[in-house]
Amino acid sequence: MVVETEARRQLDRKLAHLKDGTIAVSGPRGSGKTTLLEVSANRADFGFVVQAPATYTPQEFLLALSVRLCREYMRHHGYTPPEFTRASALRRLYQRARRGTARLGWWAAFAVPAGGLLALGLFSSVNSLYERYVHTVVHLARETAHEVTSRSVQILHGHAVANSVLILFAAIAYWNLRAEGWPSAFCRGLWTSATALLARLMIVGVILSVVLEILGDSAHIDLSRLSVTIDKPLVLHGPPYETLGWVTVLGLLWVFFRILKEADIVFPFRGRDRALENIAGPLTTTAGILFLLYLASAPYTHALLGNSHNPLRIGVLIVATWLLKASRWTPRSAEPELVSRCRDHLYRLQTTQSTTHGMSSTTQMLGLGSTHSTSLSTIPPNFPELVDSFRLLLADIAREKHAAKESVVIGIDEVDRLGTDTKALAFLSEIKAVLGVPHVHFLISIADDVGASFVRRGLPHRDVTDSSLDDIVHVQPATITESTHILAERSSALTANYAMLAHALSGGILRDLSRYATQVKEMQAKSNSYELAEISRHLILEELSETLAGFRTLLSKHQWNRETSAILEVLRTLGGYLRDTQPTSEPTLRTSLEQFAFHPADQRPEGIPDEGQLADDARQLIVEASAYAYFSLTLLDIFSAEGLDRRTQQAAEQGFDGDPERLAEARQELAISPYSARSLIEAIRKAWSLPLGPTSTTSFP
């Protein structure tokens, strides 16, 4: 599911106003940059997304980009890109023959029995038509052939000079049409119109014959006199009003259930989400069966279905269907020049071609001989040659699309996987040689630090982003309004309060938002409960337990002594309380969590070593873990207590810090600095009237 966001609207505006250029998409991981690139490429008339390698060489990346361009362009025009295999030519011929034989056998397994049954069902009707109209058709054919023959003989004997002159003019005109394009288009249009019109006339004729049969009339066509006569053999006495009424009711009932089946509607029932499709599906099948049973059992329809003309009508409908399909058939045109160039380019990039020429001559009389051979082998293109060929091919493709008023978008994703901003900037410096192709939009996903380099361009120095990027779109985390809309689209059970919880835990990052929404739904289904206080407590404590376990793993890589290793015991003890689900452990868990969350504070809890005794990296990890515990404790105090709606309104009245959006901002701030995040969390706790210190003076158990 793709949700309209401000970043997506901003990118659409930039693509609409920029004729071409390179646009960077910047944002934190999981904010939806990849989805944004894929949606923009899919919306374009011709576009695709490639992944930047984690370890790269410019030539290999450009080689992969060129291959992807050629393959996508060939598929876009309905051509299959060549597959390069190591099998011999004879082996490939055998494989193609085997696949063709299998397809032909599968087709014949259905076509032959169906054709035989069709011929058996239509034999009587066709034989009757043949006996009735064969003499008339043969007579018309003979008269036409005689007329054509006599005219031709007169022209050959010189008795029809005017016709000879007209034929000469027709021959000259036909020869001159070889350089025109409209005759082939006219023939294709004539074929399409004629076959479609004939098929529709046949269908209308069948329908009219059935209507006449229902009304008690029967029409007969006399080809010899070109006339239509209608007689009135009654099928059944009395109008079929009752039959038509039941047929209409059952048909509308089937259509109604079919619409419900196709609708994507989910409703809660007994604590679980139920899809309407699961209920409407059996009802649709039942209504269809009742409709067919009534048609087969009703006297009027039974007599109508047993009419002797029905096999012929069915045959006419089948022929009309074939004609409709034939009207859409057109002969395959010659391969476009750019497709041929893409095919040649693929062979040039992905194969090594060699050619050997040999010549031998011998003179027996003198006993002398000579042999000459020449061998040619292609070499892979170097980087400058690869750049030139790629730009030239892409420019020609873009020129063709621009002439047809179509857009071209190429996305380069996962540039932030390269690691540091230095590597990402080096990557942009290497590939900027292929950027800037006219009428082509390049979209490149980059990390926040690279985007910051572009924003501060020229202050105080210039870097590669100045010459590589034309504009930038910052993908900001979702707002609480957007998160609520996204989760409401997923399930009606994810109410506004659940959306606020997931939004706060994820910080508005879409990937994490989706993950927390899934966890909430799993907990709702597991506990068969929709109580926010209970589910939020389990979710927050579970997330805190996993996070502290990760911090403890990172801390285990450092060297510890007797005095400093107490922090590991604190984390282990707190992790044990978090995993304990017994209600009796709630007071102890609360005390332990408060003691650790409010560190560092003026009153250092017992068991926490002095920061001066720790290495800088270990001390920073402890501060970050404590700040995250402080954030989790704040969420626990807000969401696990009763009366959330009332307390939310009271917090909003306290000012800016009482806005629920500030909870997500605190989660985002944790990724920047635990110190600034702690200050923000304290302001939030003041707005929500939460204590700013441990409520219990008990030290760590």
Structure confidence by residue, pLDDT tens digits, 325-342: 888 877 666 778 888 888
- Report the percent of the chain where pLDDT is more than 70: 78
**Per-residue model confidence (pLDDT) at position 458:** 47
- The C-alpha atoms of residue 378 and residue 381 are separated, in whole angstroms, by 9
Residue 222 vs residues 137, 319, 341, 398, 607: alpha-carbon distances, Å? 11, 22, 60, 61, 109
Q: Which residue in this structure is represented by tokens 């200050």?
A: 679
- 464 pLDDT above the threshold of 80: no
- The C-alpha atoms of residue 252 and residue 667 are separated, in whole angstroms, by 54
**Per-residue model confidence (pLDDT) at position 86:** 55
Three-state DSSP at 88 gives coil
Give 643 or 58, the one with higher predicted confidence: 643
Q: What is the dihedral of CA 363, 366, 369, 370, to 10 degrees?
A: -90
- The C-alpha atoms of residue 56 and residue 59 are separated, in whole angstroms, by 9
- 420 pLDDT above the threshold of 70: no
CB 579 within 8 A of CB 545: yes
Judged on CB neighbours under 10 Å (0-12, 13-18, 19+), 425 is: buried
Q: Where are the alpha helices (DSSP H) in 584-696?
A: 586-597, 616-639, 644-652, 661-670, 674-687
DSSP structural state of residue 691 = -
- pLDDT confidence tier of residue 379, bands split at 50, 70 and 90: low
- The C-alpha atoms of residue 351 and residue 82 are separated, in whole angstroms, by 11
Max distance between CA atoms of the chain, in angstroms, equals: 127
State which amino acid sits at residue 254: W
| β-bridge pairing 441-446 and 21-26 | parallel
* Average pLDDT, integer, range 116-120: 84
Tokens of 369: 């001989």
CB 29 within 8 A of CB 416: yes
State which amino acid sits at residue 175: W
Tokens of 368: 């002398």
Task: Tell me the domain boundaries of the chain.
Answer: 6-79+383-474, 83-158, 236-306, 531-687
Q: Where are the alpha helices (DSSP H) in 263-336?
A: 276-297, 299-305, 310-327
Q: Which residue in this structure is represented by tokens 């959006």?
A: 661
- pLDDT confidence tier of residue 283, bands split at 50, 70 and 90: confident
CB 445 within 8 A of CB 33: yes
* Average pLDDT, integer, range 162-182: 81
Q: Where are the alpha helices (DSSP H) in 157-238?
A: 161-176, 182-214
Highest mean pLDDT among 87-96, 140-149, 456-465, 486-495: 140-149
- 619 pLDDT above the threshold of 50: yes
Task: Please report how the helices 310-327 and 89-156 are oriented relative to each other, as an axis angle in degrees rounded to 10.
Answer: 100
Average model confidence (pLDDT) for the chain? 78
Q: Which residue in this structure is represented by tokens 């944004």?
A: 36
Judged on CB neighbours under 10 Å (0-12, 13-18, 19+), 677 is: buried
Q: Which residue in this structure is represented by tokens 């893409």?
A: 342
Residue 466 C-beta-side C-alpha neighbours within 13 Å: 8
- 47 pLDDT above the threshold of 60: yes
**Per-residue model confidence (pLDDT) at position 585:** 66
**Per-residue model confidence (pLDDT) at position 603:** 41
Tokens of 529: 């409960």
- 524 pLDDT above the threshold of 50: yes
- The C-alpha atoms of residue 407 and residue 40 are separated, in whole angstroms, by 11
Which residues on neighbouring strands pair with residue 269, listed in sequence order?
Answer: 272
* Average pLDDT, integer, range 1-24: 79
* Average pLDDT, integer, range 660-676: 90
**Per-residue model confidence (pLDDT) at position 220:** 54
- 176 pLDDT above the threshold of 70: yes
State which amino acid sits at residue 289: I
Report the Cα–Cα distance between both ends of the chain, in Å, rounded. 48
DSSP structural state of residue 19 = S
- Report the percent of the chain where pLDDT is more than 90: 6
Give 218 or 149, the one with higher predicted confidence: 149
- 639 pLDDT above the threshold of 60: yes
Tokens of 302: 């039974």
Q: Which of 264, 258, 265, 266 is nearest to 283 (CA)?
A: 258
* Average pLDDT, integer, range 191-197: 87
Residue 329 C-beta-side C-alpha neighbours within 13 Å: 7
Tokens of 426: 């080096």
Q: Where are the alpha helices (DSSP H) in 309-462?
A: 310-327, 337-350, 383-403, 421-431, 448-455
Least confident piece of the model among 408-417, 503-512, 638-647: 408-417
Residue 641 vs residues 535, 587, 693: alpha-carbon distances, Å? 11, 15, 18
* Average pLDDT, integer, range 287-301: 77
State which amino acid sits at residue 79: Y
Q: What is the dihedral of CA 481, 482, 483, 487, to 10 degrees?
A: 110
CB 692 within 8 A of CB 653: no
**Per-residue model confidence (pLDDT) at position 683:** 92
- The C-alpha atoms of residue 234 and residue 215 are separated, in whole angstroms, by 8
Which residues on neighbouring strands pair with residue 86, listed in sequence order?
Answer: none
- At 31, give phi and psi (nearest 5°): -85, -5
| β-bridge pairing 266-269 and 227-231 | unpaired
Give 296 or 377, the one with higher predicted confidence: 296
CB 258 within 8 A of CB 252: no
- 542 pLDDT above the threshold of 60: yes
- 574 pLDDT above the threshold of 50: yes
- The C-alpha atoms of residue 295 and residue 288 are separated, in whole angstroms, by 11
- 132 pLDDT above the threshold of 80: no
Tokens of 162: 């005017």
* Average pLDDT, integer, range 70-93: 78
**Per-residue model confidence (pLDDT) at position 46:** 92
Give buried/exposed letters for 158-195 (b at 16+ CB in 10 A, else e): eebeeeeeeeeeeeeeeeeeeeeeeeeeeeeeeeeeeb
Task: Please report how the helices 58-76 and 337-350 are oriented relative to each other, as an axis angle in degrees rounded to 10.
Answer: 150
- 695 pLDDT above the threshold of 70: yes
- 90 pLDDT above the threshold of 80: no
Q: Which fold has domain 6-79+383-474?
A: Rossmann fold (3.40.50)
- pLDDT confidence tier of residue 116, bands split at 50, 70 and 90: confident
Tokens of 181: 């394009």
- The C-alpha atoms of residue 44 and residue 409 are separated, in whole angstroms, by 6
- pLDDT confidence tier of residue 605, bands split at 50, 70 and 90: very low
DSSP structural state of residue 229 = E
Tell if the pTM clears 0.75, that is, is over it: no
Highest mean pLDDT among 184-198, 394-408, 441-455: 394-408
- The C-alpha atoms of residue 249 and residue 234 are separated, in whole angstroms, by 26
CB 369 within 8 A of CB 390: no
Residue 114 vs residues 111, 118, 315, 318, 321: alpha-carbon distances, Å? 5, 6, 12, 12, 15
